[in-house]
Amino acid sequence: MTSLFALVLAAILGLLAVASAIGFILQRRATEPGSVATVHNLNARIRSWWIMVAIFGGAILLGDTAVVILFAFLSFMALREFWTLTPSRRGDHLALFLSFFVVLPVHYVLLGTLWYGLFAIFIPVYAFLILPAVATLTGDVNEFLARSARVQWGLMLTVYSISHAPALLMLQTGTPSALLLVYLVIVVQLSDVFQYVWGKLLGKHRFSPNISPSKTLEGLIGGGASAILVGTLLYRLTPFSPLQAAAVSTVIVVAGFFGGFVLSAIKRDLNAKDWGYVIEGHGGVLDRLDSITFAAPLFFHIVRYWFTT
Partner 1 sequence: MIPVIRRLLVLFVRIMVGARSEWRGCSPDTRRRIYFANHNSHVDTVAVMAALPYQVRRLTHPVAARDYWGTSAFRRFIAEKGLRAVLIDRKPLPDSNPLEPLERLLEEGRSILIFPEGTRSATEEIAPFRSGIYRLACRFPDVDLIPIHLDNLQRILPKGSWLIVPITCTARFGKPLRVEPGEEKNAFLARARAAVIELADGGAAR
Binding site for partner 1 (CB under 8 A): 76, 80-81, 83-85, 87-88, 90, 93-94, 96-97, 100, 270-273, 276-277
| Overall size of the chain counted in residues | 309
Q: How far is the CB of 97 from partner 1 (least distance, A)?
A: 4
The SS3 call for residue 82 is helix
Give the CA distances from residue 198 to residues 191, 207, 254, in Å, rounded to whole numbers and listed in that order.
10, 13, 17
Q: How far is the CB of 88 from partner 1 (least distance, A)?
A: 6
**CB nearer to partner 1: pick between 24 and 97:** 97
Q: How far is the CB of 271 from partner 1 (least distance, A)?
A: 4
Q: How far is the CB of 51 from partner 1 (least distance, A)?
A: 18
**CB nearer to partner 1: pick between 81 and 192:** 81
Q: How far is the CB of 3 from partner 1 (least distance, A)?
A: 38
* Residue 108 burial (C-beta neighbours within 10 Å; 0-12, 13-18, 19+): buried
**CB nearer to partner 1: pick between 146 and 233:** 146
Give the CA distances from residue 163 to residues 5, 127, 244, 283, in Å, rounded to whole numbers and listed in that order.
22, 15, 24, 21
DSSP β-bridge partners for residue 279: 283
Q: How far is the CB of 35 from partner 1 (least distance, A)?
A: 25
The SS3 call for residue 137 is coil
Give the CA distances from residue 65 to residues 22, 59, 113, in Å, rounded to whole numbers and listed in that order.
36, 8, 10
Amino acid, res. 90: R
> How far apart are alpha carbons 204 and 216 in whole angstroms?
6
> How far apart are alpha carbons 177 and 264 in whole angstroms?
31
**CB nearer to partner 1: pick between 14 and 87:** 87
**CB nearer to partner 1: pick between 85 and 246:** 85
Q: How far is the CB of 92 from partner 1 (least distance, A)?
A: 8
**CB nearer to partner 1: pick between 41 and 172:** 41
Give the CA distances from residue 229 to residues 144, 198, 236, 295, in Å, rounded to whole numbers and listed in that order.
46, 15, 13, 17
Amino acid, res. 272: A
> How far apart are alpha carbons 194 and 229 in whole angstroms?
11
The SS3 call for residue 19 is helix
**CB nearer to partner 1: pick between 98 and 248:** 98
